[in-house]
Structure 1
Amino acid sequence: MEYLSAKEVAEKWNISRRRVQVLCEEGRIPGAFKLSDVWVIPKDAEKPADRRKTKKKQIKREVDKLVSED
């Protein structure tokens, strides 16, 4: 299996290297592990969904549902 560094994944996913490190620390990237002080991520790993966007969409759906019930 081929691996990429956090920096390479950050460039691939167009997010910051620090964000990739946080995703790894939270266990949100399957197969990622720390080798010494470097995060190593499988080349075929998919970018996890941004929970911040998911919450906003869920809240909007709930508000829309409540408004339509009135």
Structure 2
Amino acid sequence: MNGYMTTKEAAEKWGITQRQVQNHCKMNRIPGVVTHGTTYMIPENATRPVYGFFSEQPAEKHASDN
């Protein structure tokens, strides 16, 4: 779907695990998430959710960082 990314793509972009992204989706921490069957579709412009478990979170990975 245009304009959306999968949990795997979001995990790679944000530098976290796919399971963590799925949990963020399940807990409604990412605005604009759409479910397609059992798959979460995340808006491409979504930012990594900030939650209180960690005091500091690393920045998102960018394509130029490779």
Question: How high is the TM-score relative to the length of structure 1?
Answer: 0.71
Q: Rg: which structure is higher? A: 1
- The ranges of structure 1 where at least 4 consecutive aligned residues each deviate by more than 4 angstroms after the TM superposition are none
Higher relative CO (Cα under 8 Å, sequence separation at least 6) belongs to 2
When the two structures are aligned, how many residues end up with a matched partner? Answer: 54
Q: Which runs of 5+ in 2 are unaligned?
A: 56-66
Structure ranking higher in helix proportion: 1
Percent of residue pairs identical: 37
- Structure 1 unaligned residues grouped into runs of 5+: 55-70
Output the aligned Cα RMSD. Answer: 1.2
- Per the normalisation by structure 2, the TM-score is 0.75
